[in-house]
Structure 1
Amino acid sequence: MAALKILGKSSSINVRKVLWTCAEIGLDFDLTEFGSGTPNSVTTPEFLILNPNAMVPVIQYEGQVLWESNTICRYLAARHQRTDLLPQDPMARAQVEKWMDWQATELNNAWRYAFMALVRHSPAHRDTAAIEHSVREWNRHMSIADLQLQRTGAYLVGDQFTLADIVLGLSLNRWRASPIAHANLPALQTYFDLLCKRSGYTQYGANGIA
């Protein structure tokens, strides 16, 4: 079997989803650093052939190319028959994918402005009202996850660790590490402690990088 090649910055939250998934599967990979601040640019014609969006991660595996981090995680789990991470039963799988899609759309859109302003110090994100609104929405969305974790008492969709926990675990780390006023959400703290028992999370999730 050809080695999995991953193109992307090791500090990227979306790249780290894929790296953590590989760790859970026990899958070896070759990581080539691509992105701003690396010798390899995502805007070169060669990279744009792989991903016209000029974003990472991109994987090359078994003669195929794939992009979009959540899709890559789903593919790797399915390819290696890790039905614990991504169930075969249609409803059970949909429950996992529901939270993955929520993370990629609702949650990401909530934190983006505040994160770009307060962590990335982006000159394009300096509107005080927009920052405050983003922080409120970020906390509101994290409270949705907290309520779900109160219901399950363990992981995001139940007592089984799944891909949904990989994508939320990275988002939780970003929320905790960002300099904002954090809502008091005890279930998320318990969940964080639970995730920290997994070596993949301490290596690629809660590793000091937001």
Structure 2
Amino acid sequence: MSAPDWRAALRAASGTKAGRAERRLFAELNPDLPLSPILEKKPARPRPASVLIPVIDRPAPTVLFTVRTPSMPSHAGQISFPGGGPKPEDDGPVGTALREAEEEVGIAPGHVEVLGTLGLHHGGLGYAVTPVIGLVHVDAELTLCPREVAEVFEVPLAHLTERRNHLIERRRFNGTEYDMFAVPYDDPDAARRHIWGLTAGILESFCRAFNDDPPR
């Protein structure tokens, strides 16, 4: 896909049926389970959050991911997008995503062209996440927050928008089996990257929206 084509597809993604769809990811894959086996009880209400899907504006575009530090109180060591919960000063979900990206990896909001948002994504642990698609200037400097981010890496956009790279895998926790989304990637500069859970579910929506596929 040429540069004008992938740019057009990114801009159009949030307007597709798949891009607008609200999804309850854990419930989709596990309709017989009342809640994730990781939880002791169902949260009283969803916890709002926003993430930035940072598409780096390279000749062959890539998407930036973070690896959370082992000391983080939640999702320690996992692969994720920059993101988090809202603050009163944020200008809506987009403002939250941009602020969190700057705090976590140092991407200044002025280096991000917001192309749209995807529908609300409900994860198995009670988060209700708004994904924001952002085109990041290739010269944007990264400064990682050492408390939150252990490292960052990039995955080619072409890998993430290829349907066959999106999997559903079976996991087990405390004797209960459940299904999760996954997107493995063989990083030529490191060990295999295994993106799973809520981040992988958002990527599955992103892939469908990019290709204008209908939602599940």
TM range (shorter): under 0.3
Q: Which structure carries more strand by proportion?
A: 2
Q: Which structure carries more helix by proportion?
A: 1
Please identify the structure whose Cα radius of gyration is greater. 1
Q: Report which structure shows greater RCO (CA 8 Å, sep ≥6).
A: 2
- TM-score of the pair, normalised by structure 2: 0.26
